Chain A
């Protein structure tokens, strides 16, 4: 069964460094999403992407964040200058229409 994959599973970085989180969505899906979950808190929507552009973003998704689908298969989330509060689990998801399929997540630890 097709699944969404994410790499790396765990990334440790120093404050101020740039990180890129990678996702491979399900191949025939049209919509792509990033969510994050700070430890002990609810899963929060960051951004949705459709037709090679951002379709919606939350207040969390400020200028430090960007997304890209560079080659038609990968979907990346870049954080330009990480802060301590960016430490969280980041989930990628994809959908054909409504039902979203989630990847296993990348745990980002900013020290």
Chain B
């Protein structure tokens, strides 16, 4: 049974820092991995999708990498800003097409 874990659960950093969020999964046979952002009480905003054949994806200040064999993905945020404060979720698909979500990392960027 696929399980997704995100570390750390919460992170507080000063503005301008580069930071790394981690996601690990137990079954390496995935179709893709997707990172989302969720603001309090709001929906899911897709950030980056990495297909199983890819190793990384970039969008602006965000870079996500995927290492299937070790069951890990990292989301790198460069030059963090207070507007980046949110919960970041990773989700994987494997076997059937459903997404299995991690518990999230709650990020606070201090001005």
Contacts and interface: CB of A to CB of B under 8 A. Distances in A.
B43 A105 contact: yes
B interface majority secondary structure: strand
A91 B91 CA distance: 14
B46 A98 contact: no
Nearest to A55: B96
Contacts of A31: 97
Given A91-B43, A102-B44, A48 B98 contact: yes
- Assign chain B's interface to a size class: 20 to 34
Contacts of B49: 99
A95 interface: yes
Contacts of A101: 46
A100 B101 CA distance: 13
A65 interface: no
Given A42-B104, A43-B44, A98 B98 contact: no
A interface majority secondary structure: strand
Contact of A56 (B32, B51, B98, B101): B98
Interface in B30-59: 31-32, 34, 36, 41-44, 46, 49, 51
B28 interface: no
11 contacts: A35-B101, A42-B89, A42-B102, A42-B103, A43-B44, A43-B89, A45-B98, A56-B98, A100-B99, A102-B36, A102-B43
